[in-house]
Amino acid sequence: MNDRRLLLFSLVRGLAAILLALAVATIFIFISSDEPLNALKYLLLGPVVSFKVSGNVFNTTSFLTILAAMIPTIFSGLAVCVMFSANQFNLGGEGAIMLGGFVGALLGIYLKLNTGLHQVVCVLAGALAGGLIMLIPAVLKVKLGASEMVTSLMMNYVVMFVILHFLNFVFADRSKGATQTFPFQETAKIPEIVANGTKLTWGFVIALIFVVIIALFMYRTKWGYAIRMIGINQSFAQYSGMQVGTVIILSQVIGGMLSGMGGSIEVLGRFNTFLWRELPGYGWLGITIAILAKNNPIFVPFAAFFIAYLNKGCDLMATYSDVPSEMIDIIQAAIFLFFAAEQFLAKYRQKIVVRNAQRDLALQESAASQGGKI
């Protein structure tokens, strides 16, 4: 009973934070736009409604593209969930995703395998690459105490420039005007669930499967327990005999593998050739998603949907009105600040806790006095 009220409270609180963020966005839209209502219409409804003269109808294609946009961010969100749960502020998701995508792409171009096996090999190689690159900040943290945050941030740039070097000087398809690799073989591409051009590939299903796997891992295995315990109280975990160093490394390697996997699935599902010329940004989105999901893997798809919806809304708003799509960053920042604020609406939480305690006390007293009578 008590728990249910607190759960309800945390839901209401999350909703309030999101509404507050959208309110901030609305204020900015009203300040900056000449047609604020039109802009708001596209931001909030545009992603799923197509506005026609004959009336407004649900836009299935657009809805499916939103689901498709969730594929890489579910992976990066899960990655951040695992790493942040262990209190490891590793911000290297960006680099791991790009590297995973690049490795997956290269194998998709140069390896000769049957379809089915080919995709599996590419994606696993991408995951491996992501996991290996995260080993660097993780090991430096555990062995030397170097801040994983700073090293992982620097790694992102190193990874990006090294990939750009190979993209430009080693693997470039010189027949094309733009800098890109040769096209992927058909056997390596990850097909759409229904071939309708929405890019909703089987990657979506794999992403959802990994949501379940990571949720089970975090809440039903010894390792997941250790990761969460280290995040809550590292000293306690250490004194109770957990191998803190190993678990910290493990959490970041898992984070890297998930990121790399997401990168390769995205590249092989969405494109015909490797086109990323800069860090793709999914790593940062993953942090927003993990914060919205409160580091709980089960909530990741919902948070990813919300972010993908907002992103699409901002794009549409930029296309059909005069508000730039970078609005998304302002909304995200506001969500960050309010959603992660423990003290946001804390007074009401306090009231609920006090009321529950008082009621429990009253119940105990009445039980005691009744007991006394008998």
Binding footprint of another protein on the chain (CB under 8 A): 28, 31-32, 89, 91, 140, 144-147, 149-151, 153-155, 157-158, 161-162, 164-165, 168-169, 284, 287, 291, 324, 326-330, 332-334, 336-338, 340-344, 346
Comparison of 124 and 330: residue with beta carbon closer to another protein: 330
Shortest reach from residue 278's CB to another protein, in Å: 9
Task: Give the residue with the Cβ less far from another protein, 35 or 329.
Answer: 329
What is the nearest approach in angstroms of another protein to the Cβ of residue 14? 14
User: Smaller CB distance to another protein: residue 158 or 213?
Assistant: 158
Residue reference for tokens 């089987």: 202
Give the shortest CB-339-to-another protein separation in angstroms. Answer: 9
Q: Round to whole Å and give the CA distance between 122 and 105.
A: 7
Q: How far apart are CA 100 and CA 130, in angstroms?
A: 5
DSSP 3-state assignment of 51? Answer: strand
Say if CB 85 and CB 220 are below 8 A apart.
no
Nearer residue to another protein within complex by CB, 147 or 364 = 147
State the nearest-atom distance from the C-beta of 232 to another protein, in Å: 14
Q: Which two tokens stand for residue 273?
A: 């050739």
Question: CB-wise, 343 or 369, nearer to another protein?
Answer: 343
Q: How far is CA 137 from the centre of its chain?
A: 20
Nearest to 296 by CA among 223, 222, 212: 212
258 vs 353: CA distance, rounded Å: 38
Name the minimum Å distance from CB 318 to another protein: 10
- In order, the DSSP letters of 251-288 are HHHHHHHHHHHHHHHHHHHH-SS----S--SHHHHHHH
